[in-house]
């Protein structure tokens, strides 16, 4: 197990370097030079020129790119993410609480996606080729075709405007309900699909037939003997699903004014605030990497064959 973990960590190292290089590109390739864009038309030309020179020096935009890269790497090693150009304060201050909010939203959405996806997948597999199965498959196709932001607006329309079940701008714990539903229900579609396929495959196995021959009831057969084995396959796609949820959060947060890093990232890109954009993308990519690592290790722990094969 420890050897497997070390191997995986070593494999992740070059990817981390790649992530750093790509996020660095965000700064190096800013075409209009964020600093210039910011001061356009805001003060007299002479003052502006001075301010721009000072700011360019501050963000090292006046240095050749390879020196900028070295400085970027050095700062990151010191845990220094820089100062937001627009907000004029360390990006860490702004990202901190928003990161927690995005994790909360992604976690709640994942819970919904797993519960709904696995349940419908199991039911569809157990009642294969019945109207239940066909309905689940069709709804699933709806799910993968539905833009999360439109679905979110529909939920607001139905629950807040027509049914008046929720306040338009909810406060407190209930505020997470609609954004988590609009992300989670859509992501339930692919999970349901994988669960169904994997469950059908498992139900064909010899040990299921043996259990059935022993007189195990149909429900126990599916839940106790089938499901744990089917879930193993589902776990392999969970990492990918979390990536989708994290990405989807970037759009959904805007609709529901959920103050997460996604909402901030969209604004940072519009502001051309490259330090902020860089930091958010870096943190999200590293989180995604860690999640995938955790899922892989969990998988190897649950299914020892993986460890032996690699």
Partner 1 sequence: MSQIANDAEEPLGASGWSRLVSRFFENRSAAAGGAILALLIVCAAGATLIAPHDPLAINPVMRLRPPGLQHWFGTDEVGRDLFSRIVYGSRYFLLICLVAASISATAGTLLGLIAGAGSALADGIVMRLMDVMLAFPYILLVLVVVAILGPSLWTGMIAVGVAGIPGYARVVRSAVFSVRHEDYVESARVLGASGAQIMFGTVLPNVLSPLIIYLSFATPLAALLASALSFAGLGAQPPAPEWGAMLVNSRTYLFSAWWAVAAPGTALFVSIFGLNLLGNGLRDVLDPRS
Taking the least distance from each CB to partner 1, the nearer of 100 and 141 is 141
What is each CA distance from 184 to 39, 190, 248, in whole angstroms?
41, 11, 10
CA-closest candidate to residue 194, choices 224, 238, 131: 238
For residue 244, the minimal CB distance to partner 1 (Å) is 7
For residue 139, the minimal CB distance to partner 1 (Å) is 12
For residue 287, the minimal CB distance to partner 1 (Å) is 10
For residue 241, the minimal CB distance to partner 1 (Å) is 10
Taking the least distance from each CB to partner 1, the nearer of 225 and 296 is 296
The SS3 call for residue 83 is strand
Nearest-angstrom CA–CA distance, 121 and 207? 21
Longest dimension (CA), the chain: 89
Torsional sign, CA 290, 67, 40, 94: positive
Taking the least distance from each CB to partner 1, the nearer of 227 and 277 is 277
Taking the least distance from each CB to partner 1, the nearer of 225 and 272 is 272
Total residue length of the chain: 310
Residues near partner 1 (CB under 8 A): 14-15, 18-19, 21-23, 25-26, 29-32, 141-142, 144-150, 153-154, 156-157, 161, 168, 243-244, 246-248, 250-251, 254-255, 265-266, 268-270, 272, 274, 277, 281, 284-285, 288-289
Taking the least distance from each CB to partner 1, the nearer of 147 and 217 is 147
Token couple for 283 = 């943190």
Taking the least distance from each CB to partner 1, the nearer of 222 and 242 is 242
Taking the least distance from each CB to partner 1, the nearer of 141 and 302 is 141
Buried b / exposed e along 242-254 (16+ C-beta atoms within 10 A)? bbbbbbbbbbbbb
Token couple for 291 = 């999640």
Buried b / exposed e along 120-139 (16+ C-beta atoms within 10 A)? bbbbbbbeeeeeebeebbee
Q: Distance from first CA to last CA of the chain, Å, rounded?
A: 11
Q: Which are the contacts of 132, defined by CB distance < 8 A and separation ≥ 6?
A: 123, 124
Nearest-angstrom CA–CA distance, 246 and 138? 25
Taking the least distance from each CB to partner 1, the nearer of 90 and 247 is 247
For residue 242, the minimal CB distance to partner 1 (Å) is 8
For residue 170, the minimal CB distance to partner 1 (Å) is 15
**Rg for the chain (alpha carbons), in Å?**
24
**Backbone angle region of 82, left / alpha / beta, with phi > 0 → left and psi within -120 to 50 → alpha:** left
Q: In this structure, what DSSP letter does residue 33 have? A: -
For residue 247, the minimal CB distance to partner 1 (Å) is 3
Taking the least distance from each CB to partner 1, the nearer of 221 and 292 is 292
């Amino acid at each position: 197990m420890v050897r497997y973990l070390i191997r995986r960590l070593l494999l992740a190292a070059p990817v981390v370097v790649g992530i750093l290089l790509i996020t660095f590109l965000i700064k190096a390739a800013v075409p209009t030079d964020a600093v210039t864009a910011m001061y356009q038309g805001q003060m007299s030309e002479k003052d502006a020129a001075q301010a721009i020179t000072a700011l360019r020096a501050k963000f090292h935009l006046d240095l050749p790119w390879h020196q900028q890269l070295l400085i970027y790497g050095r700062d990151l090693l010191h845990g220094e993410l820089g100062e937001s150009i627009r907000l004029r304060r360390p990006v860490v201050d702004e990202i901190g609480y928003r990161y927690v909010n995005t994790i909360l939203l992604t976690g709640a959405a994942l819970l919904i996606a797993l519960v709904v996806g696995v349940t419908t997948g199991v039911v569809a597999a157990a009642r294969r080729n019945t109207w239940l199965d066909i309905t689940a498959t069709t709804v699933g196709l709806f799910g993968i075709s539905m833009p999360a932001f439109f679905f979110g607006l529909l939920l607001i329309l139905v629950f807040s405007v027509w049914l008046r079940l929720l306040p338009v701008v909810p406060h407190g714990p209930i505020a997470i309900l609609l954004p988590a539903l609009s992300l989670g229900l859509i992501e339930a579609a692919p999970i349901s699909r994988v669960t169904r396929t994997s469950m059908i495959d498992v139900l064909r196995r010899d040990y299921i037939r043996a259990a059935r021959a022993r007189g195990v009831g149909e429900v126990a057969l599916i839940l106790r003997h089938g499901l744990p084995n089917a879930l193993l396959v589902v776990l392999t796609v969970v990492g990918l699903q979390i990536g989708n949820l994290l990405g989807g959060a970037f759009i959904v947060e805007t609709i529901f004014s959920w103050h997460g890093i996604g909402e901030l990232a969209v604004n940072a890109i519009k502001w051309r605030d490259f330090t902020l954009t860089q930091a958010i993308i870096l943190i999200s990519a590293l989180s995604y990497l860690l999640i995938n690592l955790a899922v892989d290790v969990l998988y190897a722990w649950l299914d020892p064959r993986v460890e032996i094969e690699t």
